């Protein structure tokens, strides 16, 4: 099974056993990380559901990328600026795709059952609130709209006569 995950503003295609370098993530070497932002998943050439899907990974190392040189120049103006940059990266080893978050999704499904009792009290409040606006709506009658008045055609300016 493979998945396309988003982390650090970039997207990566991953499968179990892959090693990838991503934008810096908090943690030390050996820590476990879950990538929850799964955009697409596939298995045996068919797409799979991504709801509740997670990718389990392990941090291998925290590193810095290669140095990138930024050089700016404007010709004939004696303007030159040179700057370097090294991006902080995290090396990840993908442990599993989709296996780690399935039990957590079942726990979330059990939680709304506990909230069923408080909803009954909320329903009574909602009924009293809903009843008042219905009475007001019945009292108001929609007023008939008047047809828009036609605008008078602009008058032509009369030519002025000269006395001379």
Please state the pTM of the whole predicted model. 0.55
pLDDT band at 111 (very low <50, low <70, confident <90, very high): very low
Q: Is residue 100 predicted with pLDDT exceeding 80? A: no
What letter would DSSP give residue 104? H
Of 62-66, 84-88, 129-133, the one with minimum mean pLDDT is 129-133
**At 94, phi and psi to the nearest 5?**
-80, 120
Q: Which tokens in the block code for residue 118?
A: 């408080």
pLDDT of residue 118: 54
User: Cα angle at 49 between 33 and 3, to 5 degrees?
Assistant: 45
Q: Is residue 115 predicted with pLDDT exceeding 80? A: no
CB 3, CB 55: distance < 8 Å: yes
Of 19-23, 86-90, 105-109, 158-162, the one with minimum mean pLDDT is 105-109
- Output b/e per residue, 74-101; b: 16+ Cβ within 10 A: eeeeeeeeeeeeeeebbbbebbebbebb
The dihedral built from the CA positions of residue 111, 114, 120 and 121, taken in this order, carries a sign that is negative
The dihedral built from the CA positions of residue 112, 115, 120 and 123, taken in this order, carries a sign that is negative
Dist. CA 87–CA 28, nearest whole Å? 17
Percent of the chain whose pLDDT exceeds 70: 60
Is 153 strand, coil or helix?
A: coil
């Amino acid at each position: 099974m493979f998945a396309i995950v988003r982390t650090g503003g970039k997207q990566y295609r991953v499968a179990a056993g892959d090693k990838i370098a991503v934008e810096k993530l908090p943690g030390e070497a050996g820590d476990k990380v879950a990538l929850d932002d799964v955009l697409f998943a596939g298995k045996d050439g068919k797409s799979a559901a991504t709801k509740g899907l997670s990718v389990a990974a392990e941090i291998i190392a925290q590193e810095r990328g290669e140095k990138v040189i930024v050089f700016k120049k404007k010709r004939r103006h004696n303007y030159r600026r040179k700057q370097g940059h090294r991006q902080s990266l995290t090396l990840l080893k993908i442990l599993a795709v989709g296996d780690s978050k399935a039990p957590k999704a079942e726990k979330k499904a059990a939680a709304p059952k506990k909230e069923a009792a408080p909803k009954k009290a909320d329903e009574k409040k909602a009924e009293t609130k809903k009843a008042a606006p219905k009475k007001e709506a019945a009292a108001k009658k929609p007023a008939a709209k008047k047809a828009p008045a036609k605008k008078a055609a602009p008058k032509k300016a009369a030519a002025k006569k000269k006395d001379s």
